[in-house]
Amino acid sequence: QVQLVESGGGLVQPGGSLRLSCAASGIIFSTAAMGWYRQAPGKQRELVALIFSGGSANYADSAKDRFTISRDNAKNTVFLQMNRLEPEDTAVYYCNALGRTLLRGTASYWGQGTQVTVSS
């Protein structure tokens, strides 16, 4: 029922920028906490950024000062603006929602992921 669809990934050179988008449906978006996670080959999935319903945000140390998470509740969409990208940022980036549906209490949902590759 809940769907999270990421977009915006691709190949970018070091120092470049990308903006990821995650369009959510089937969830009460305005009260959901939304997050971006990433997973590089052979590594654990890790939190990149988290934004709460009120707009406050948390970032991984590696993302602070380079990445910005934001949300547009009218469009049920969360964004991740990534600047000054580094090869170490290469990973599959996943959107996550923690929230409620009309028929279910609080649960966690994942998107399918979008590949970000930073390489010269």
Tell me the pLDDT tens digit for each residue of 39-90.
Answer: 999 999 999 999 999 999 999 999 999 999 999 999 999 999 999 999 999 9
Residue 79 has a pLDDT of: 98
Give CA angle at 78 (75, 80), nearest 5°.
Answer: 140
Q: Which of 7, 20, 27, 45 is nearest to 109 (CA)?
A: 27
Mean pLDDT value of segment 34-43: 97
Contact 61, 47 (CB under 8 A): no
What is the C-alpha separation between 77 and 29, in angstroms, rounded? 8
